[in-house]
Chain A
Amino acid sequence: DTGVSQDPRHKITKRGQNVTFRCDPISEHNRLYWYRQTLGQGPEFLTYFQNEAQLEKSRLLSDRFSAERPKGSFSTLEIQRTEQGDSAMYLCASSLARASGIYNEQFFGPGTRLTVL
């Protein structure tokens, strides 16, 4: 399967614990995005990378959240000191940024569902 993969698919943790999610984008895709979706809402943008550079962060991404893409391939999203409000589906997407005028479609992974007790 050459799609976007995410691990784990489900995570249950206790409040105050740290969690880390991984995203493997489609091979050769140079852009990688993180979104969060809570019940009844559409996905909300968190951050995105072009290669290893983090180009944009949403104000939703508090100091407890950190994302990395160290070698420009897979990415990790870490949440420190989790709170119940962090319970959500965390989605990763990737795209291939090409020459201007050619649109970069985003392909999504299946998400990691986080439950904070």
Chain B
Amino acid sequence: ILNVEQSPQSLHVQEGDSTNFTCSFPSSNFYALHWYRWETAKSPEALFVMTLNGDEKKKGRISATLNTKEGYSYLYIKGSQPEDSATYLCAPCETSGSRLTFGEGTQLTVNP
């Protein structure tokens, strides 16, 4: 079972602030790393899937980087908006299509 850690557990920022979260995971037997955004009463929404060391992905104001050698990924949100308020989950997996092992998530609240 993978040990996945996310920090911080929760974060409160003001609208317009930029912020970032960390996900750390075992670097051995790594296949891919997922980031999901989960808003209350909705389905977890896939943000990124990254597989290669050094990968950087971007979607609007959100971007992510991956370091598979040291076992960490960063998620960045530029100019946070209230609609970014959600729990952000990371989940590595060891093979394609296998179980995802989620961290506890970072709960982001963006105050207007």
Chain B residue at minimal CB-CB distance from A6? B43
A48 within 8 A of B: yes
A33 within 8 A of B: yes
Q: Known contacts being A45-B101, A48-B99, is A105 close to B49, with CB within 8 Å?
A: yes
Whether A97 pairs with B99 at a CB distance below 8 angstroms is no
A70 within 8 A of B: no
A68-108 contacts to B (CB < 8 Å): 91, 95, 97, 100, 102-108
| Pair count A-B, CB < 8 A | 59
B4-19 contacts to A (CB < 8 Å): 4, 6
Count how many chain B residues have C-beta atoms less than 8 Å from C-beta atoms of the other chain: 25
Chain A residue at minimal CB-CB distance from B101? A45
B77 within 8 A of A: no
SS class of chain A's interface: helix, strand, loop or mixed?
loop
Interface range on chain A (Cβ under 8 Å from partner): 20 to 34
B72-101 contacts to A (CB < 8 Å): 89, 91, 96-101
B26 within 8 A of A: no
Whether A44 pairs with B102 at a CB distance below 8 angstroms is yes
Q: Known contacts being A42-B91, A103-B49, A105-B49, is A3 close to B99, with CB within 8 Å?
A: no
Query: Residues on A close to B: CB < 8 A?
Result: 3-4, 31, 33, 35, 40-45, 48, 56, 58, 91, 95, 97, 100, 102-111
